[in-house]
Amino acid sequence: MSAKGSESLKIYVDGDACPVKEEVYKVAFRYQVPVMVVANSYMRVPGHALVEQVVVAAGPDVADDYIAERADEKSVVITADILLADRAIKSGATVIAPNGKPFTENSIGNAIAVRAIMADLRAGGDVVGGPAPFKKTDRSRFLSALDEALVRLQRSD
């Protein structure tokens, strides 16, 4: 079986600074979907047959490359990284931000443009705020979005 085109659903978590890992496990266990937590350092993951921790080499985009190279139409990718989201969408994956908002073909272009504008402002010395604080409603929206994505993908089998 090749990394691409795998027959079963998988969830890939961009593990560094992901605030919803516990929620991912909860939903994945309910649907019996394997989870790959990808990061460049060790972190605690449940000792469960459905959860695998993948530790990649340190370096920019190494975890992103691992996920992007394996994501396909039967994958759900959990990330706040806009460029990884874009790559995963191009591979056919369903992509959800930790706040529960989906990245889609229709929304990713705008997200990339806003990211570029913010980077330009920061480079010019402007002080710009970071992402909004993570809220309970974000967690709830994420749970619903992941649940809906898995149901949709399982029905498409």
Beta bridge partners of 39: 55
Q: What are the b/e assignments for 23-49, b being 16+ CB within 10 Å?
A: bbbebbeeeebbbbbbbbeeeebeeee
What's the pLDDT tens digit per position in 73-89?
Answer: 999 999 988 889 999 99
Q: What pTM was estimated for this model as a whole?
A: 0.83
- The class level of CATH for 10-104+136-155 reads alpha beta
Q: Which amino acid is at 2?
A: S
The reported pLDDT for the residue numbered 106 is: 74
pLDDT tens digits, residue range 21-71?
999 999 999 999 999 999 999 999 999 999 999 999 998 889 999 999 999
